[in-house]
Amino acid sequence: GQVVGPLHGVPVSIKDHISIKGEDTATGFVSWAGKTIAENDATIVQVLRQAGAVIYVKTTNPQSLFAFETFSNIYGYTSNPHNRTLTSGGSSGGEGTLIASRASLLGVGTDIGGSIRCVEIHLIPFKYIFTFMLPASGVLTPYKGMENIVGVIGPMAHSARDLELFCRVVSGYEPWNIDSSTLSIPWNSTTAERGESDKLVIGFFTNDEVVTPHPPIIERLHKTREALVAAGHEVIDWVPMDHMKAFELAARLYLLDGGEAIRGILGESGEPAIPHVAQLLLSDPRKADEFTLAKSWDANAQRDQFRARALKHWNDTALRSKSGRPVDVVLCPAAPTLAPPQGTTRWIGYTSYWNLLDLPAVVFPSGKPFDSSAWEPANDSSRVEPRNPFDEFVGAQWDPKTFDNAPVGIQLVGRRWQEEKLMAALKHVEDAVSRFEKS
Instruction: Give CA–CA dist 113/211, Å, rounded.
Output: 17
Per the annotation, the verdict on 323 as an active-site residue is no
Instruction: Give CA–CA dist 31/365, Å, rounded.
Output: 37
Residues 6 or more apart whose CB falls under 8 angstroms from that of 7 comprise: 48, 51, 52, 53, 106, 169
Helices marked H in 101-214: 117-123, 160-172, 189-192
The answer to whether residues 126 and 120 touch, using CB atoms and an 8 Å cutoff, is yes
Given 15, 58, 127, 421, the catalytic residue: 15
DSSP state of 270: T
Given 64, 79, 92, 115, the catalytic residue: 115
Instruction: Give CA–CA dist 330/415, Å, rounded.
Output: 9
Instruction: Give CA–CA dist 277/69, Å, rounded.
Output: 10
The answer to whether residues 342 and 68 touch, using CB atoms and an 8 Å cutoff, is no
Per the annotation, the verdict on 427 as an active-site residue is no
Instruction: Give CA–CA dist 277/295, Å, rounded.
Output: 23
Q: Taking the C-alpha atoms of 222, 224, 225 and 229 in order, what is their torsion angle to the nearest 10 degrees? A: 140
The answer to whether residues 313 and 319 touch, using CB atoms and an 8 Å cutoff, is no
Instruction: Give CA–CA dist 152/358, Å, rounded.
Output: 10
Closest CA to 331 of 244, 406, 434, 227: 227
**271 by DSSP, 3-state: which?**
coil
305's enclosing H/E stretch is helix 293-315
Per the annotation, the verdict on 15 as an active-site residue is yes
Closest CA to 253 of 288, 297, 294: 297
Residues 6 or more apart whose CB falls under 8 angstroms from that of 319 comprise: none
Closest CA to 121 of 413, 412, 407: 407
Angle in degrees, 0-180, between the axes of helices 243-254 and 293-315, rounded to the nearest 10: 150
Given 72, 91, 352, 366, the catalytic residue: 91
Count the residues in the chain. 439
**Active-site annotation, residues:** 15, 91, 115
